[in-house]
Amino acid sequence: MPWYFSNQMTVSKVLLLVILSLSFRVSFGQAGSNRDYESAYTELVKILEDRSHYSFKKAVILTESAFDESFDSLYFESQVRHLVNLCNGFIQSNQLNYVEKDKAVVEKWAAIFKVVTDTVYQSKGGLSIPHLPFTYDFDDFFGENDWTKMFVSKLLESGSGNCHSLPYLYKILAEEMGTTAQLALAPNHIYIKHRSIKTGMFNTELTSATFPIDAWIMASGYIHLTAIQNSVFMKALNDKESIALCLIDLAEGYKGKTNYLDPDFIIKCSDKALEYFPNYVNALILKAETIKSQHDQLVVSNPNPTNEIKLKTQSLFNQMQDLYVKVHKLGYRQMPKDMYMKWLVELKTEKEKYQNKNVSSYDK
């Protein structure tokens, strides 16, 4: 019998187990203002509701600039243009051995992959200037202590990033070059899905510079079939679902910076994200955590609660528990950090086992 139906456990014990297994917190101990967050939220909603406003790059800029007052949009834009120029230069100087009618699109994917994961050269003043590949930042790769570790701007400035910023950058570059790139989720992880005429659907993994088959994604042991059936993991996200990810990034940054200063704002972001991506578990968990903070605050500030307070407290508790139970039923299980790193390393050490042989190299 599933744990959440056990008659031997009290509701409070059930809740404790779920919170311990699912809760993911970002804490910075910083004071902050929400003056930029409401405007960022409004602009993100415009992107969601009006296709003419769509830009994943703009969504990322809105999210990161709201958190970081020192965000330099001019530098961000210039670095993106530089990378796009490198990609276009690579296409012009390298012939891709691909003959299907979608060659022009596949060439762009190949160039972006090359620029992000390998050294490429650009001619300047008669000199051949190397551009080094982006690397994986193993320090605080979940952004628990420093949320900017998740940022594309941090990746562009430092040359190192993680499984959040690298695929975000890839999608930005693809769209700036007039093509598409679909994000896909795995536990604690984001990667890219493409579909070509020759290969069909295939995965692009930037942290290891490989093209793994779906079996690698499932090899982690933390993806239940139920989660796949419910489109929690391994689904190629559409553009609006990708913007939903940015809404939760915005809310997570706000939560960490202000310590739930305005829980209604976080819930508003979560609800809007769920409107466009109903089974996005990060949004469900964030909403549950936020309601828990409201519940706990109410309990602490009312040591001798009135009946009205008791009813409100119980209502919050019920909402929180319903959300955690829903997340569990969707098939989500949180992947421990050590297992996550082992999983990533395994892709490189057992490359032959998990590599998609039909996309073994864009160079061929």
The pLDDT of 39-47, averaged and rounded, is 97
What is the model's pTM? 0.88
Q: What whole-number percentage of the chain has pLDDT above 90? A: 66
E runs forming strands in the chain: 120-124, 127-131, 135-136, 160-161, 182-186, 189-196, 200-204
CA-nearest of 320, 219, 328 to 279 is 328
Residues in Cβ contact with 351 at an 8 Å cutoff, skipping those fewer than 6 apart:
210
Assess contact for 169 and 183: CB atoms under 8 A: no
pLDDT at 55 over 50: yes
SS (H, E, C) 69-81: CCCCHHHHHHHHH
In the prediction, which pLDDT does 17 show? 40
Average pLDDT, the chain: 87
DSSP symbols for 130-196: EEPPPEE--TTTT-SS-GGGG-HHHHHHHSEE-TTHHHHHHHHHHHHTT---EEEEETTEEEEEEEE
The pLDDT of 2-9, averaged and rounded, is 31
pLDDT at 266 over 90: yes
The residue among 362 and 15 whose pLDDT is bigger is: 362
Q: 10 Å Cβ neighbour count for 268?
A: 17
Q: Using DSSP, state whether 223 is helix, strand or coil.
A: strand
